[in-house]
Amino acid sequence: MDWDWTYTGDILPDLLDGLRLTVTATVLGYLIAVVLGLVWTLLRRTPSRVVNGAVRWITEFIRSTPLLVQLFFIYYVLPTWGITLGALTAGIIGLGLHYSTYTAEVYRGGIADVPRGQWEAAVALNLPRPRVWFDVILPQAVRRVLPTLGNYLIAMFKDSPLLLAINVTELLAAAYKAGSHSLRFLEPITLVGVLFVLVSVVSSILVRLLETRTHATD
């Protein structure tokens, strides 16, 4: 089958709209993941064995089940319990919740890498516990793990086509829709691959620059 440049130009605006939805879902889902991941991490460090155990069980369960199953549950099962969400909202929550369990482990590793002397100095100064965390420990821990957190942003972007399963017209869904109408899939699917590569490569370069800058200031 020959490449049709006219057809490519016709479907490109729809694919770019799909890309916009893909990026929106990824960015908003990522914001949920980095915030909720930090919450999971802090809850894991509470003195309460009940809270610690519950959070550990929840995060392990989420991390051990497929993202696609979680998306189906949020979009199709929750309405039977009276919780109805739009497709895009459900996709954003699903991505954020799933990846929060991975960012939680990243934060946990970053906190473990903070020198013990920093904790001892904070205790010696008799700083309140909230100040120890938010003024001393977390700024150092987050700075150490920024490149890894950036890698999860790229991974989430590459998992975003799964939103097709819950009727979000993201990039792959837009390509499938265009191909179904014309019965030509060469151009739309190829463009999907090209757009994903372009965005992923640019994101990877930015993450590498961030990693270089982080190491340079250590």
CATH of domain 17-168: 1.10.3720.10
Q: How far apart are CA 122 and CA 143, in angstroms?
A: 19
In this prediction, residues 73-86 reach a mean pLDDT of 94
Helix (H, G, I), strand (E, B) or coil at 166: helix
Residue spans of the domains in the chain: they are 17-168
Continuous segment of H or E residues that includes residue 164: none
Q: How far apart are CA 31 and CA 9, in angstroms?
A: 33
Continuous segment of H or E residues that includes residue 1: none
- pLDDT grade for 102, boundaries at 50, 70 and 90: very high
> In the predicted model, is pLDDT for residue 120 greater than 80?
no
Answer whether 214's CB lies under 8 Å from 143's CB: yes
Residue 217 neighbours by CB distance under 10 Å:
7
In this prediction, residues 60-89 reach a mean pLDDT of 95
Residue 53 neighbours by CB distance under 10 Å:
11
